[in-house]
């Protein structure tokens, strides 16, 4: 087996072929990381969430990172890392088309609203307004064991 760097085009193709990963953002003292479901298009990853800690942290500090991985047979694996900037698609007339576009990309996936719609220990159905956001891709890198 051999560890190899992935070319940028291979990283982007990998992102396009997957929809689940981990989102990391800057916390007050430690990094904060959560599982996410995303839709990839060109230079952005689109996601959905309810209000909560990750949204609060990214609003305060916009750099974010997404990691997507795949494990194969016989110890093979691929891992792609996206570094970029949080961009909230606010529910305003000027961002309406972008929100609809993000929704249209996400809704192609089964259960696209999970885990973003789940609230910890929540009895209430109404946790607040839904939030659509993007992570612009500033840098992408990947490694694989083949």
Q: Mind listing the pLDDT tens digit for each residue in 31-55?
A: 999 999 999 998 999 999 989 999 9
pTM: 0.86
For the chain, which residues make up each domain, given as ranges? 3-145
Q: What sign does the CA torsion over 101, 105, 110, 112 have?
A: negative
Note whether 57 and 64 are within 8 A (CB): no
- For the chain, the average pLDDT equals 89
Residue 60 above 70 pLDDT?
Answer: yes
Q: What is the DSSP letter of 125?
A: S
Q: Is 104 helix (H, G, I), strand (E, B) or coil?
A: helix
DSSP annotation string for 38-71: -EEETTEEEEEE-SSHHHHHHHHS-EEEEEEEEE
Q: What is the DSSP letter of 7?
A: P
- To which CATH superfamily is domain 3-145 assigned? Electron Transport, Fmn-binding Protein; Chain A (2.30.110.10)
Question: Tokens at residue 76, please?
Answer: 């093979």
Note the pLDDT of residue 118.
46
Q: What is the DSSP letter of 113?
A: T
Note the pLDDT of residue 112.
61
More confident residue, 127 or 134: 134
Contacts of 97 (CB under 8 A, 6+ apart): none
How far is it, in rounded angstroms, from Cα 51 to Cα 56? 8
- Distance of CA 26 to CAs 3, 45, 81, Å? 29, 18, 16
Note the pLDDT of residue 108.
86
Residue 29 above 70 pLDDT?
Answer: yes
Q: Of 56, 130, 42, whose CA–CA distance to 90 is shortest?
A: 130
Note the pLDDT of residue 120.
44
Residue 146 above 50 pLDDT?
Answer: yes
8 forms bridges with which residues in the sheet?
Answer: none
Q: Average pLDDT in the 138-146 region?
A: 97
Q: Mind listing the pLDDT tens digit for each residue in 101-126?
A: 998 899 888 766 555 444 444 454 55
Note whether 70 and 77 are within 8 A (CB): yes
């Amino acid at each position: 087996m051999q560890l190899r760097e992935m070319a940028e085009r291979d990283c982007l193709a990998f992102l396009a072929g997957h929809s689940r990963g981990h989102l990391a953002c800057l916390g007050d003292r430690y990094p904060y990381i959560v599982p996410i479901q995303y839709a990839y298009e060109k230079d952005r990853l689109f996601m959905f969430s309810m209000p909560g800690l990750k949204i609060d942290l990214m609003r305060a500090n916009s750099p974010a990172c997404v990691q997507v991985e795949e494990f194969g047979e016989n110890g093979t694996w691929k891992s792609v890392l996206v570094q970029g900037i949080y961009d909230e698609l606010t529910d305003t007339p000027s961002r309406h088309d972008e929100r609809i576009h993000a929704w249209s990309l996400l809704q192609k996936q089964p259960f696209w609203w999970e885990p973003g719609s789940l609230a910890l220990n929540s009895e209430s159905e109404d946790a607040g307004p839904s939030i659509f956001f993007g992570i612009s891709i500033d840098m992408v890198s990947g490694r694989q064991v083949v």
